Amino acid sequence: MESSVSVSGSLSGVRVIEAGQLLAGPFAATLLGDQGADVIKVEPPGVGDPMRAWGRTDGTSLWWPVVGRNKRSVTLNLREAEGQELFLQLVAEADIVIENFRAGTFERWNLSYEQLKAVNPGIIMVRVSGYGQTGPYANRAGYGSIGEAMGGLRYVLGDADRQPARAGISIGDSLAAMHATVGTLSALQHRNRTGEGQVVDASIYESVLAMMESLVTEWDVAQYQRERTGAILPNVAPSNVYPTKDDQLVLIAANQDTVSARLFALMGKPEWSEPGHPYASHVGRGKAQVELDALISEWTATVMAEELLEMMNDGGVPAGRIYKAADMLEDPHFQARDSIVQVPDQTFGQLRMQNVVPKLSATPGAIRWTGPDLGQHNDEVFGDLLGIPAEQRASLAERGII
């Protein structure tokens, strides 16, 4: 629970000041904290990150313990000059600053990169925003959903006969955070070589765009527009969700030639993979996608789900159930790899949540504590790290600065 918990991970010794809110910036800091970084989260006094009120059960957030894990919380009013001065003092003791406000906000708060660099020449400033720090849209408000729309993802999600769907998670924010993390680690390596800090400019729409495979190139060269196709990728077959005798759904992905041949053999149709047969090649299976899926569905509907999964596993064909949380908690593979761990929490006693990813063999990260209370580490950070006396801290708190 407390920051006295021993630190493990490859980023042990790296200090991050996170001045973000909601998910895009904070999740980047979570990823760094999971690998051992000392993350000091700066939040508005009395209010805190809105994520503290999201995902509620009986009035208490179950989202905050996850996104706030491995962070120390301090309160600081960045709209006031005294708060800005204290922030710069934190910057002087840090390696990385993460912010995800609208472009120009930190400049208005007298916290531009140039001002941060003046107190710490090696500082890495990570800026996560909807549209990036430059360009005609830079100053617009931008949420993850808008980035998903403009980055091309929303258009291709869902069924062809309906309006675009969305993923059931904040995927745009999370992708921006992951790209921001890649940029942060790249900038950290550059600084380790040269001593030079820099700005990492991660936009949500470009982070989504980066994941869109060949969508732009296909249009540029062949004027081919990807459309919504539901559970399949056009011309990639067989790869779909198929029914079973006990009314379960099993996803089978056998679109590679050698794998489809193994599937066809299990179905008692080895001739389908013989040279010259329409289903023997990737192109042929793609053209016959609808009829092939129908034939496979007809066969899987005669087999119980567990039996089907065993057949696929024994036959070397990738397959699996579509899991919900309850399935994950019971799965022996999840358990063997500690994919989900139980950690102490000051509100709930114990919580289960996803573990640190990826797993490093020599310097594994860890969940050291869950999301802290608002301002829980004010004395620890402002007192121990910055050396501000108790009387002065009390005065700052009284005036709403911390």
List pLDDT tens digits, range 274-287.
Answer: 999 999 999 999 99
**Where does the pLDDT of residue 229 fall: very low under 50, low under 70, confident under 90, or very high at 90 and above?**
confident
Chain region(s) in the chain for CATH 3.40.50.10540? 15-211+336-398
What is the reported pLDDT for 59?
A: 72
Each residue's pLDDT tens digit, 164-203? 888 888 989 999 999 999 999 999 999 999 999 999 999 9
Chain region(s) in the chain for CATH 3.30.1540.10? 239-323
361: which residues sit within 8 A by CB, 6+ positions away? none
The label of the residue with tokens 């019971």 reads 330
For residue 99, pLDDT over 90 is answered with: yes
Q: What value does the mean pLDDT of the chain take?
A: 92
Each residue's pLDDT tens digit, 48-66? 998 888 877 677 888 999 9
- Rounded to 5 degrees, what are φ and ψ at 258? -65, -35
For residue 390, pLDDT over 70 is answered with: yes
Each residue's pLDDT tens digit, 116-160? 999 999 999 999 999 999 999 888 888 888 998 988 899 998 888
pLDDT, average across residues 86-109: 95
What is the reported pLDDT for 7?
A: 60
Name the superfamily (CATH) of residues 15-211+336-398: Crotonobetainyl-coa:carnitine coa-transferase; domain 1 (3.40.50.10540)
- Calculate Rg over the CA atoms of the chain: 25
Give the residue numbers marked as catalytic.
Answer: 173
Percentage of the chain with pLDDT > 70?
98
For residue 232, pLDDT over 90 is answered with: no
For residue 6, pLDDT over 80 is answered with: no
- Let me know: does 187 contact 195? Beta carbons within 8 Å: no
Query: How many other CB atoms are there within 10 angstroms of residue 115's CB atom?
Result: 16
Cite the beta strand spans of 68-182 per DSSP E.
71-75, 96-99, 124-129
pLDDT, average across residues 367-386: 93
Better-predicted residue by pLDDT, 1 or 93: 93
Of the candidates 276, 319, 313, which has an alpha carbon nearest to the alpha carbon of residue 296? Answer: 319
What is the reported pLDDT for 55?
A: 75
What is the reported pLDDT for 199?
A: 98
**Where does the pLDDT of residue 374 fall: very low under 50, low under 70, confident under 90, or very high at 90 and above?**
very high
**Please, what CATH class does the domain formed by 239-323 belong to?**
alpha beta
For residue 109, pLDDT over 60 is answered with: yes
What is the reported pLDDT for 228?
A: 87
Better-predicted residue by pLDDT, 169 or 339: 339
What is the reported pLDDT for 2?
A: 39
What is the reported pLDDT for 143?
A: 86
Concatenate the DSSP letters of all residues of 307-357 into one string: HHHHHHHHTT--EEE---HHHHHH-HHHHHTTSEEEEEETTTEEEEEE--S
**Where does the pLDDT of residue 8 fall: very low under 50, low under 70, confident under 90, or very high at 90 and above?**
confident
DSSP letter (8 states) at residue 99: E
